[in-house]
Amino acid sequence: MSDNIIEVQNLTVAFGKFIAVDGISFAVQKGEVFGFLGANGAGKTTTIRTICGVLNPTSGSVKVDGRDVSSSTAVLKPRIGYMSQKFTLYQDLSIQENMEFAGSLYNMPAAQIAARAKELFKFINLDTQPQTIVKDLPGGVKQMAALCATLLHNPDLVFLDEPTAGASPQTRKDFWALINALAKRGKTIFVTTHYMDEAEYCKRIVLMDKGKIIALNTPQGLKDEFFKQKPLELNLFLSKTNKPKSRQKSKRRAWGRRRFSARGCA
Ligand SMILES: Nc1ncnc2c1ncn2[C@@H]1O[C@H](COP(=O)(O)OP(=O)(O)O)[C@@H](O)[C@H]1O
Ligand SMILES: [Mg+2]
């Protein structure tokens, strides 16, 4: 039995003549935090939407847990949680009402929704009352509430499409702590980002560019792959003839004595 929960083979997705995803292949292991890194328009969202069964492949195959996604949508739907890049909670409803709506999409009984929402609010350390109207929440809390809605039906495969885009450094940190906590609970996390630093949190990362995969590796493997040469160290000293004239003389002297290093690749 394969340890892969997602298997993508030669996937191409075209919109008319435009090829958004161009013959990509990769597999994601169960329990992995798998990152998709790429600039806007690289094809990350299109790939996710195809794996979730929202879009059909133009060619190639996409399997989740060994099942073809296009023909097994109903079976796979309860297993998948998808937090889309676009904020999807209803702004005029409270957090609690949004949870009730999200649960109803999966035919969850009211008591189960209430219990699960309570558990999730505790898990994410929700810093507000569940009766708060979504539009009145700060951006970071909105994202956390959207994560709760995504997790409400307890999916084991969770897609997070740029969950930290535009978030403050603290919210990004909190969000990644939650992602790791979810992975420890056995969930598979497929996350997209365009923040290079966030790639470090993933077990493996795909680099995507113009619909193609240009690299797939661990964070360390990628560094080794792209920074093979020994880093250069550049030492800068201000020359003695470059004497400061202003009243900041002593400060600038200190500056002149200081050594600067710049690291780069040969
Ligand atoms: N429904 C669509 N119709 C036409 N073009 C689309 C559609 N969805 C995405 N695209 C195009 O496909 C490319 C990849 O988009 P997307 O997958 O959203 O990239 P990313 O998520 O990496 O920013 C973009 O050029 C985008 O404009
Ligand atoms: Mg996108």
Supply 120's token pair.
Answer: 């999730």
Smallest-distance ligand from the CA of 47: 1
Question: pLDDT over 90 for what percent of the chain?
Answer: 67
Residue-wise pLDDT tens digits, 54-98 = 999 999 999 999 999 988 988 999 999 999 999 989 999 999 999
Task: List Cβ neighbours of 49 (8 Å cut-off, separation of 6 or more).
Answer: 55
Confidence band (pLDDT; 50, 70, 90) for 1? Answer: low
Q: What is the pLDDT of residues 224-260, one digit of tens each?
A: 887 666 666 666 665 555 555 555 454 444 443 434 3
Q: Is 67 helix (H, G, I), strand (E, B) or coil?
A: strand
Index of the ligand 1 atom closest to the CA of residue 85 = 21
Which of 36, 37, 46, 49 most suits a substitution to test ligand 1, by most atoms within 8 Å of the C-beta? 46
Contacts 24+ apart (CB under 8 A), 217-223: none
Ligand whose nearest atom lies closest to the CA of 55: 1
Give the pLDDT band (50/70/90) at residue 266: very low
**161/194 Cα distance (integer angstroms):** 10
pLDDT score recorded for residue 257: 41
Ligand 1 pocket list (CB less than 6 A): 15, 18, 20, 38, 40-46
Q: How confident is the model at residue 264 (pLDDT cuts 50, 70, 90)?
A: very low
Domains of the chain: 4-226 (3.40.50.300), 233-265 (no CATH)
Q: Ligand 1 center to residue 47 CA distance, Å?
A: 10
Position in ligand 1 atom list of the atom nearest CA 36:
22
pLDDT on residue 73: 87
pLDDT of residue 187 exceeding 60, the answer is: yes
What is the number of the ligand closest to the CA of 206?
1
Give CA separation, 188 vs 2, 148, 220, in Å: 15, 16, 21
> Per residue in 197-232, is it b (16+ CB within 10 Å) or e — as a string?
ebbebbebbbbbeebebeebeebeebeeeeeeeeee
* Mean pLDDT to the nearest integer, 182-187: 93
